[in-house]
């Protein structure tokens, strides 16, 4: 079951609606900002099929996982924990806010179909609000921070260059606060967290906070959107 913190967040639905509506008005509503820029620094598309990994955190992992499960070129997306140690990688402990973990998603993708920079473009544009510190929608705490966990120097270079590019373009009214940190380990979350949106589309938290992300993905990047 969700933690007490997540259950509490479900009881403050009105706040969640206001919070996400605010994010939409400043970041994802057509006409409210320029067309979201593609990364100026990126990997070239691979000439052959393969598998590479990206790990991202930006609030509750339910929505982030769903966004990437609807992204063309993504082979799998797994909810889990990154940033802390193996002994604290469980939902109740992470939800206490006393660990170094962030709710994260491990994305396995085919670099011949989608680039790392394109994954970050989706991350910054529709998956979460990168200007909020230790907060996304109705969820508060360091476990909901915005982070990019890089696995290679190339991923770090692309991520840092893109953040600099977006800040320079003033895409958001505030500065991007996303951390770019090394990936020391990823620990899959409990089974009931996997594919949560797919199995619980009528959950009020999902309806208010996460389904709009899929709508934004389909609207802003139709060439990258796919159904389940």
C-alpha angle with apex 48: 46 to 52, nearest 5 degrees? 65
Report helix, strand and coil shares of the chain as percent, to nearest 5.
Answer: 40, 20, 40
**Burial status of residue 199 (CB atoms within 10 A of its CB: 0-12, 13-18, 19 or more):** exposed
Task: Choose, from 60, 74, 77, 197, the residue flagged as catalytic.
Answer: 60
Q: DSSP string covering 65-82, please?
A: HHHHHTBTTEEEEEEEEE
The pair of three-digit structure tokens given for residue 112, joined into one six-digit string = 């011949």
For 147-156, give one letter per residue: b (16+ CB within 10 A) or e.
bbbbeeeebb
180 is catalytic: no
Compute the CA torsion angle 71, 128, 206, 1 (nearest 10 deg).
100
Residues marked active site are found at 60
């Amino acid at each position: 079951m969700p933690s007490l913190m997540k259950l509490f967040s479900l009881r403050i639905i009105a706040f969640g609606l206001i919070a996400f509506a605010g994010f939409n008005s400043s970041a994802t509503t057509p006409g409210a900002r320029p067309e979201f820029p593609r990364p100026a620094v990126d990997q070239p598309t691979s000439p052959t099929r393969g598998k590479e990994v990206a790990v991202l955190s930006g609030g509750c992992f339910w929505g982030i996982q769903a966004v990437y499960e609807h992204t063309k070129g993504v082979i799998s997306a797994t909810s889990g924990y990154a940033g802390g140690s193996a002994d604290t990688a469980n939902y109740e402990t992470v939800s206490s806010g006393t660990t170094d973990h962030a709710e994260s998603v491990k994305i396995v993708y085919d670099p011949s179909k989608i680039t790392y920079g394109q994954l970050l473009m989706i991350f910054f544009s529709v998956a979460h609000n990168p200007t909020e510190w230790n907060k996304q929608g109705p969820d508060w705490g360091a476990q909901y921070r915005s982070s990019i966990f890089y696995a290679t120097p190339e991923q770090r270079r692309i991520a840092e260059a893109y953040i600099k590019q977006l800040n320079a373009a003033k895409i958001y009214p505030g500065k991007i606060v996303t951390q770019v940190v090394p990936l020391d380990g990823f620990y899959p979350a409990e089974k009931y967290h996997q594919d949560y949106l797919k199995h619980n589309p009528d959950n009020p938290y999902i309806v208010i906070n996460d389904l709009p992300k899929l709508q934004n993905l389909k609207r802003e990047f139709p060439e990258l959107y796919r159904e389940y």
